Amino acid sequence: MSDIFPKWTNKLPTRVIAGALIAGTTVFAGITYYATPKYTRVGYQPVQPVAFSHAIHVDQVGLDCRYCHNGVEKSWYSNIPAASTCMNCHNQILANDPKLALVRESYNTGKAIPWVQIHKTPDYVYFNHSVHVNRGVSCFSCHGEINKMDEVRHAQPLSMGFCLDCHRNPEKNIRPPEQVFNLNWHTNEAAQLQLGEKFVHDWKVNSSQNCSACHR
Amino acid sequence: MRYFLPIWILIVAVSIGVLGFRESVLRKPPIEVFPDMDRQMKFRPQVPNEFFRDNRASRLPASGTVARSEPRRNVAGGAVVYSYEDHPVNSGKMTGTTNWVELNPTVIDAQSMARGRQRFEINCLPCHGPLGDGNGVTKKLGMAVVATLHDPRIVKMSDGELFHVISNGRNLMGPYASQLAVEDRWAVISYLRALQFSRLGSLEDVPAQFRASLNK
């Protein structure tokens, strides 16, 4: 038989198995690490047509989220403000700044500013902003420290697992209603749980895990 | 094995080099790993749509149209007023005339006052300041003229005229009709009146049991 199978073939099965194991493990690890919104979405930070900084407007100037995103408490989506909202201040502040040329053009002609959408749920997901912010879920829970961002960055995976984590344990993210738009409000874990459990009970929070809660 | 391992390590290293790590800055739109039905033939709010000349998928109501449903809540006397009616609550003017109404036509109670305060602090505070004295943060940033709301000219203004100014703007102040619902504008006016009253009052206006605390 040694004419047909030379001696090195004796080790072939072990080598094939070892090679397959190494390859399989790395491929598995790679898919686990990369094929998830934690990799594909988190960190998405497109270049916007106007270099708007949340850090300046919220953290330094102290505007409330709802000055610009005024529909967030009433509507299922949180609106990008109209150029007229910007011009309430920027008709005098930085009135001739070239960085704001697109805003002025939009204000004067009605041409839309081509903002790049960052947080995008799939079209079969019906996330409702008003329900969440009116029941104590802060902007912070899904958008991270957006008040400190010079350029908006996708901070959380916003995957189905991310939604379900909170829908299974809403008490971890429910805060006093007056602190929902105060992104600097933080408390320790024990106090958060105590508060959260109280709110879940008092407000009869029913964070549904039915498919139809989000998928229609 | 002698060839396989180095080649495999090279492949893994190159893949990591190309793909990077989680949470790194991504300038390009996220890859959708399983894109089934993620993006459907429909338009979400504020997305572009080349079908219309202004490239907007969201359409504005035709000019001059008024919502017909949803009566105004909180009108004094429990009246049911719809938004198309010529009623002081909609226009700030006395029905059938061009004269401003003297008094706020909505119910003023603790709830509307709290709402007014909240909306004042979101929308008015950046320029007019928390006390309404025109010392908001924008003054430091280059806003030239901000009215103090304690100016006798504004104190003497009728509620109807204030409503008109909030809705349509005046001089350098922009209109707030799209940011503040009609009910909220009236709530802001009642809170503003309280702010003004706090500067005009004397010690006799303070209930006896609270006077001592003011002298501290």
Q: Which residues of chain B neighbour A18 with C-beta distances below 8 Å?
A: 1
pLDDT at residue B122 in the model = 94
B1 pLDDT band (50/70/90 cuts)? low
A14 and A72 belong to one structural domain: no
Q: Please give the average per-residue pLDDT across B71-82, as a whole number.
A: 84
pLDDT tens per residue, range B114-160: 999 999 999 999 999 999 888 889 888 888 888 899 988 999 999 99
Range of the domain at A23: 7-35
A160 and A64 belong to one structural domain: yes
ipTM of the complex: 0.86
Cβ-contact B23, A155 below 8 angstroms: no
Q: Please give the average per-residue pLDDT across A172-188, as a whole number.
A: 91
- Looking at the 3D structure of chain A, how many domains does it have? 2
A151 and A60 belong to one structural domain: yes
Rounded Cα gap, residues A177 and A182, in angstroms: 10
Residue A40 lies in a domain: no
Q: Please give the average per-residue pLDDT across B75-85, as a whole number.
A: 84
Long-range contacts, stretch A94-97, CB < 8 angstroms, 24+ apart: A94/B142
A75 and A163 belong to one structural domain: yes
Q: Please give the average per-residue pLDDT across A158-182, as a whole number.
A: 92
Compute the count of residue pairs across chains A and B with CB atoms less than 8 Å apart. Answer: 117
- Show Cβ contacts of residue A126 under 8 Å, excluding neighbours closer than 6 positions: A76, A214, A215, A216
A45 in reach of chain B (CB within 8 A)? yes
pLDDT at residue B198 in the model = 86
pLDDT tens per residue, range B42-52: 899 999 998 98
| Percent of the residues in chain A that have a pLDDT greater than 70, as a whole number | 99
The closest CB to that of B27, out of A38, A47, A88, belongs to A47
Q: CB A22 to CB B8 under 8 A?
A: yes
Q: CB A67 to CB B122 under 8 A?
A: yes
Listed range (A48-57, A125-134, B55-64) with the worst mean pLDDT: B55-64
The closest CB to that of A34, out of B19, B46, B174, belongs to B19
Amino acid at B84: Y
Is residue A85 helix, strand or coil? helix
A88 in reach of chain B (CB within 8 A)? yes
Q: Which residues of chain B neighbour A70 with C-beta distances below 8 Å?
A: 178-180
- Topology of the domain covering B91-205: Cytochrome Bc1 Complex; Chain D, domain 2 (1.10.760)
Residue A86 lies in a domain: no
The closest CB to that of A70, out of B1, B38, B179, belongs to B179
